[in-house]
Structure 1
Amino acid sequence: MLDILYIEDNLNEIDIFKRVLSHLVNPPSFTVLSNGSDAIDYLLQQGIYEDKTYPMPRLVLIDLNLPGQNGFEVIQQVRANTGTKYLPLLVYSISDLADDIRRAYNLGANAYLIKPQSYQEVSELMRRAIDFWLTPNQYVR
């Protein structure tokens, strides 16, 4: 089982994410994909992921500014597919623009988290998000 799929192209952000998770008492399993097109293929089990068995994540953290298809396009395609329609999608972006937040929610994001500036704030935000979305929360496919 895969706990988190993190869709992010910034190597510094990926490194911070990995360090934060490594310091948790029970770190979740995770996979990182660096562009939106690969994320769509993975989640919809198409392209290079077709006819192969890959674990579906319990939670998706997605940046908006991605190469290939952007985060908005990923959300839209994941929500349009019956197999991933209810998958928890959390936008994790540096953008605090009201239009981006509104658009993400309108497309079906479950939450919109703005990336904090300090490592300690990132650590606390990730811990709280993981505690909520992976511990008590349930979803159906």
Structure 2
Amino acid sequence: MLDILYIEDNSDEADIFRRLMGLMTPSPSYLILPSGSQAIDYLLQQGSYQGQSPRLPNLVLIDLKLPGHSGFEVIQQVRASSRTRYLPLVVYSSSENPKDMRRAYDLGANAYLIKPESYHQVSAMMQQAVDFWLKQSRSYVP
């Protein structure tokens, strides 16, 4: 089972995420995809993933500003599919714009996290997110 799908195009952010996941015990399994288009293909089993059965994650962390399809478009398409409708989708963005937050929630995001500035703050936030979404909450699987 895949614990986390992280959709992030910034390689520095992805490296920080990798390091933090490696420090956790137990270390969650994860996949990082660098574009909204790749994420949609992966989650909806289309494009290069057509005919495959990629593992659905227990949690999707998604940036909003992505190449190809934006994070908003990913959320919209994921929520429109019966296969992925109930996946936990958590926006992880540097945007503090209330319009972005409102739009993300309107499209079906489960939560909206603003990327902290310091490594220690990122570490604490990721630990809390993993504890909540992977250990404490239960996803609905039809």
Write the distance in 1 (CA, Å) between the matches of 2:86 and 2:13.
Answer: 26
Residue of structure 2 in register with 1:23 after alignment: 23
Q: Deviations over 1:60-98 (max 9, x none)?
A: 000000000000000000000011000000000000000
In structure 1, the residue corresponding to 2:72 is in which secondary structure? helix
The count of residues paired between Structure 1 and Structure 2 equals 141
TM-score (normalised: structure 2): 0.97
8 Å contact from structure 2 (residues 64, 91) kept in 1: yes
**Structure 1 vs Structure 2 CA RMSD:** 0.7
Write the distance in 1 (CA, Å) between the matches of 2:126 and 2:136.
Answer: 15
Residue of structure 1 in register with 2:69 after alignment: 69
Residue of structure 1 in register with 2:132 after alignment: 132
Alpha-carbon deviation of 1:52? 1.0
Residue of structure 2 in register with 1:44 after alignment: 44
Percent identity over paired residues: 60
Write the distance in 1 (CA, Å) between the matches of 2:20 and 2:57.
Answer: 19
Write the distance in 1 (CA, Å) between the matches of 2:63 and 2:50.
Answer: 24
Alpha-carbon deviation of 1:8? 0.2
- AA paired with 2:61? L
Write the distance in 2 (CA, Å) between the matches of 1:111 and 1:136.
Answer: 15
Alpha-carbon deviation of 1:54? 1.4
Write the distance in 2 (CA, Å) between the matches of 1:46 and 1:131.
Answer: 31
Structure 2 unaligned segments of length 5 or more: list them.
Answer: none
Residue of structure 2 in register with 1:13 after alignment: 13
TM-score (normalised: structure 1): 0.98
1:82-97 aligned at under 5 Å gives the runs 82-97=82-97
Structure 1 unaligned segments of length 5 or more: list them.
Answer: none
Write the distance in 2 (CA, Å) between the matches of 1:96 and 1:87.
Answer: 24
Residue of structure 1 in register with 2:57 after alignment: 57
Write the distance in 1 (CA, Å) between the matches of 2:52 and 2:86.
Answer: 22
Alpha-carbon deviation of 1:112? 0.2
- AA paired with 1:130? V
8 Å contact from structure 2 (residues 43, 54) kept in 1: no
Which consecutive segments of 4 or more residues in structure 1 shift more than 3 A? none
Write the distance in 1 (CA, Å) between the matches of 2:23 and 2:30.
Answer: 14
Alpha-carbon deviation of 1:25? 1.5
